[in-house]
Amino acid sequence: MQDIPAIFDNHVLIISLVACLVAQVLKLLIELVRHGKVTFRTLVGTGGMPSAHSAFVTALAAGIGQTIGWESGEFALAFVFAIIVMYDAAGVRQAAGKQARILNQIVDEFFHEHATLNEDRLKELLGHTPFQVFAGSALGVAVSWIAAPAY
């Protein structure tokens, strides 16, 4: 338990968290520009532009590569982890979001007349488009490179 404060000395972790936070704040700003309003739920929600998951894992992988070495096993592990997270964000979770949208539409169309179905709507914004994933990963690498002198 005495080593827990040492977590805050891990610059790679801190920079990765900063990249994730920057992505979430950018989502808020993009929503403000696009819709003219701020929804703070955006700060903690999934989906949207840019992908905070992608920013987080690519900043982590880049930070590990910068500090330990690009040939290290730790970088390889972080790189593979990043690829899996980004594939999931753009593939599986986006497909689940599309299915949720279709199911919500079916419920709206077939059960509109009969209000016997009293279920909450499924969350539709789960995943990311490939462009949102790419933008998030570029943001993560950029934040890591900008913060590189702190390593």
Tell me how long the chain is: 151
**pTM score of the predicted model:** 0.76
Please tell me the distance from the alpha carbon of residue 101 to that of residue 122, in angstroms, as a whole number. Answer: 7
For 68-113, give the DSSP string: T-TTSHHHHHHHHHHHHHHHHHHTHHHHHHHHHHHHHHHHHHHSSS
- Lookup: tokens for 16: 């990765």
Per-residue pLDDT of the chain (151 residues; tens, 9 = 90+): 678 888 888 999 999 999 999 999 998 898 888 888 877 776 776 777 899 999 999 999 999 999 999 999 999 999 999 999 998 887 766 666 666 677 767 776 676 665 565 566 555 555 678 899 999 999 999 999 999 876 6
